[in-house]
Amino acid sequence: MSQQKIHGVWSNSWIFVLAATGSAVGLGNIWKFPYMAGENGGGAFVLVYLFCIALIGLPVMMAEVLLGRRGRMSPVNTMKRLVEEGGLHGAWTSIGWMGVFAGLFIMSFYSVVAGWAINYVITTASGTFNGADAEQVGSIWGGLLNDNGTLLLWHTTFSIMTGVIVALGVTKGLGAVARYMMPFLILALFVLLAYGVMKGNMAAGLDFLFNPDFSKLLYKYVEVNASGETVACSGELIHCEKQLTYEPTLKALGHAFFTLSLGMGAIMAYGAYMPDHSNVAKTVVTIGILDTVIALVAGMAIFAIVFANPEVSPAGGPGLMFQSLPIAFGSMAGGQIFGTLFFLLVTVAAWSSAVSLIEPGVAWLVENKDYNRWVATLILAGSAWLLGITAMLSFNVLSEWTPIFLFGKTPFNFLDFLTSQLMLPLGGLFIAIFVGWKMSKTIVAQEMDAEGHPLFEIWMFVLRYISPVLVGVVFVFALIDSLS
Ligand code: PFF
C-alpha cells in the first residue's frame, strides 16, 4: 500500500497497542480524571464515566481504528477515500478536518499543563517541598502560575520535545516512544499505588471513588448574587437553592472521549499504521482496559494521599495535583523521591499523548503538500504553541478575560470545554453514524474479521443505536440545562 510507504507501519500489533495506549494514557488519566471526579461528586461521576467508556468509548474506538486501517492515510484523506469508496456526501470528510483542529486546540493547553509538570519534577527533586505546609505549597504553585518566563520556558520545551518525536516519524519516533515509555509508566504508577497503600488513607480514597452518591452528580447549589445573576453557591447551604444539572454528566461523557483519545482522528491516524492482520476488537479492548485501570490506579493513589492530609480538599480543581500532592509528598518519608518520580511520570505520559495530537495534521501536510515531516511538524506544533500562550496567560494576566465569544470562560477553560465537551463527543457521534449506518456492512465485517460472529452483531447494534443515542441525549439535556 502506497500510504504505508509514506508514513511507515508499526513493526507489530503489540507496538500499535503500546502506541495507542501511550496516546490514551496521559494528563487525562493522572491530572484531569482525579480532579474532575473530585469536583463532580466522586463515585457517581466515576460510575457514569465507566459506563460511557464501555457503551460509547470502546465501540467508537473500534470504529475509529477500523476507519484508519481501511483508509490507510491521515484522517482527512482517510475520510475522503472512504467517502469516495462508498459514494457518500463529501461533508463526511469534516470528521477528519474537525479532528485536525481539535488536536491543535487540545495540544495548546495540554502543553501548558505538561509544562507545569516538568517544572514540578525540578521543584520536587530539589527538595523545595520537603516539610512544606499547605500555605507554602500554595504560594509556590501561585508563584509558578504568575511566572510567565518559567511557564513559557516549559511550554516551549514540551512543544519541542513533542515536535521532535513526531518529526522522527512513526517507526523511529512514535514506535520508540511506545516501546520504552509505556512499561516505565505502568511500573511507576504501581509503585505509587503501593506507596498510597502503605502511607496514605486508602480506605477513604476508595470510599470517595467507588461509593456513588448520585445527588452529588445531578444537583448543584446556586444563589442569586447582588447583581441578580444566578451563581454557584458560595455561602452557607441554607441560603442556596438546589438545582438539577446535567453538566457533570456531559463532563463524564466528554472525559470518556478525551481519555481514550477519541473523536478527533488520533486513533484513526494510528490505526492507519496498523498491520493488516491484527485483530481490531481485541487490541481496542486491551487499550481500553489499560487506560481505565491506569486512571483508576492514579485516582486511588492520589486520593489515598489526599485523604491522609486533612488540609487538602478533593475538590481542588485543576490545581489538585499540583497544590495538594506536594503537601503530601513533603510530609511523608521518601516523598522527595516518590514525588519526583510521580511528576516525571506525568511528563512522560503527557509526552506520549501529545505526539498523537499533532500527528493527524502532520500526516495530512505530508500527504497533500509534500512537506517533509520536520516542516509539517514545525507548522502544527508552532501553531499550537502560539495558541497555547493564551492558555498559559489564563492563570495570570488573562484570568479576568472571559468574553462572551469564549462562552464567558478563560481561553484555557474554553479550549478544554470546546474540545472535551463539544468537538470530541460530536466527532465520536459522527464516526459511530458513519461506520454504523453509512459504510457497507460487508466492508465493516471484513475489516473486523468477524463476519457472522455474534459479538460483531452486538457491536454493530451498540454502534448504531446505543452510542449515538446516548451521546445525543446527554448533549440535548446539557444544552437545555445551560439555556434554562
Ligand atoms: N488521551 C489523552 C489523555 O488522556 O491525556 C489526551 C488526548 C490525546 C486526547 C490525544 C485526544 C487525543 F487525540
Question: Above pLDDT 70, what percent of the chain?
Answer: 97
| Residue among 180, 347, 348, 174 at smallest CA distance from 271 | 174
Q: Which long-range contacts (CB under 8 A, 24 or more apart) does 477-484 make?
A: 477/246, 477/249, 477/250, 478/246, 478/247, 478/249, 478/250, 478/421, 480/246, 481/244, 481/245, 481/246, 481/247, 482/247
Q: Give the mean model confidence (pLDDT) for residues 138-153.
A: 95
pLDDT band at 208 (very low <50, low <70, confident <90, very high): very high
Q: Which of 52, 261, 362 to mutate to test the pocket of ligand 1 (most atoms within 8 A of CB)?
A: 261
Q: What is the H or E stretch that residue 222 is in?
A: strand 219-224
Give DSSP secondary structure letters for 353-372: HHHHHHHHHHHHHHHHH---
Residue 242 has pLDDT above 80, yes or no: yes
Q: Whose CA is nearest to atom 12 of ligand 1?
A: 261
Q: Kindly give the distance from the C-alpha atom of residue 470 to the centroid of ligand 1, in angstroms, as a whole number.
A: 21
Q: Kindly give the distance from the C-alpha atom of residue 199 to the centroid of ligand 1, in angstroms, as a whole number.
A: 31
Strand partners, 221: 242
74 Cβ contact list (under 8 Å, min separation 6):
96, 265, 269, 272, 360, 361, 363, 364, 366, 367
- Lowest-pLDDT range of 104-113, 213-222, 393-402: 213-222
Residue 327 has pLDDT above 80, yes or no: yes
Backbone region of residue 236 per phi and psi (left: phi > 0; alpha: psi in -120 to 50; beta: other values): beta
Backbone region of residue 9 per phi and psi (left: phi > 0; alpha: psi in -120 to 50; beta: other values): beta
If you average pLDDT over every residue of the chain, what do you get? Answer: 90
Q: Kindly give the distance from the C-alpha atom of residue 259 to the centroid of ligand 1, in angstroms, as a whole number.
A: 5
Q: Kindly give the distance from the C-alpha atom of residue 451 to the centroid of ligand 1, in angstroms, as a whole number.
A: 31
Residues lining ligand 1, judged by CB closer than 6 Å? 23-24, 26-29, 103, 106, 258-259, 261, 264, 266, 353, 356-357
| CATH class of the domain defined by 2-483 | mainly alpha
Q: Which atom of ligand 1 is nearest to the CA of 264?
A: 13
The domain segmentation of the chain, as residue ranges, is: 2-483
Query: Would you state the pLDDT for residue 16?
Result: 83
Q: Kindly give the distance from the C-alpha atom of residue 267 to the centroid of ligand 1, in angstroms, as a whole number.
A: 10
| Cell triple for 309 | 492530609
More confident residue, 315 or 374: 374
| Cell triple for 101 | 483542529
Q: Whose CA is nearest to atom 13 of ligand 1?
A: 261
For the segment 443-464, what is each residue's pLDDT rounded down to a tens digit?
Answer: 999 888 877 788 999 999 999 9
Query: Would you state the pLDDT for residue 4?
Result: 55
Q: Can you tell me the distance from the alpha carbon of 345 to that of 236, in angstroms, rounded to the nearest whole number?
A: 40
Q: Give the mean model confidence (pLDDT) for residues 282-292.
A: 94
* Residue 230 three-state SS: strand
Query: Would you state the pLDDT for residue 380?
Result: 95
